[in-house]
Amino acid sequence: MADEELDVESLRQRLMSALMAEGDRAWLYPQEVERQFPRILARIVELWKKPELDDFFDELITPGRSGRQGFPEKVALEIFHLATLHASFRVSGRPKTPWDWNPDPSFFNRTQSS
């Protein structure tokens, strides 16, 4: 899909609505992603609150192909902030933090026996 075919205004409204529904998180709206990478914005909007979006964010943040330059700093920060918010929804069943993988909190209080 060519960028000129994207209805960016509709994408903006949909994502802003979703961000506002999460407790007035309009400040997280990715303006630079919209401006520089509208197709990425379209994919984020399409996958919002779906487990596949966590995978998409992983691919954006840590590309597996060599020779990639990465995103400009502002774009990378916007993607990171949205990825963090989306991970907090736990729609993919992934742990939110590295310590969430174990459902037994006392695990971290145990000491090794000699």
- Asked if 7 and 46 count as a contact pair (C-beta separation under 8 A), the reply is no
Q: Among residues 16, 21, 12, 40, which one has the least CA distance to residue 89? A: 21
The token pair at 40 is 């990425």
The token pair at 92 is 């993919």
Is residue 113 domain-resident?
no
Question: What mean pLDDT is reported for the chain?
Answer: 84
Is residue 29 domain-resident?
yes
| Confidence check: pLDDT of 114 > 50 | no
pLDDT tens by residue, 11-55: 999 999 999 998 889 999 999 999 999 999 999 999 999 999 999
Whole-structure pTM value:
0.76
| 99 vs 65: CA distance, rounded Å | 29
End-to-end CA separation in angstroms for the chain: 62
Is residue 36 domain-resident?
yes
- Asked if 78 and 32 count as a contact pair (C-beta separation under 8 A), the reply is yes
Structural domain count, the chain: 1
Is residue 107 domain-resident?
no
Is residue 108 domain-resident?
no
Is residue 67 domain-resident?
yes
pLDDT tens by residue, 72-84: 999 999 999 999 9
- Asked if 30 and 45 count as a contact pair (C-beta separation under 8 A), the reply is no
pLDDT tens by residue, 52-100: 999 999 999 887 777 778 899 999 999 999 999 998 888 776 655 555 5
* Residue 70 domain boundaries: 3-94
| 108 vs 48: CA distance, rounded Å | 34
Is residue 70 domain-resident?
yes
Helix (H, G, I), strand (E, B) or coil at 64: coil
The token pair at 90 is 């736990």
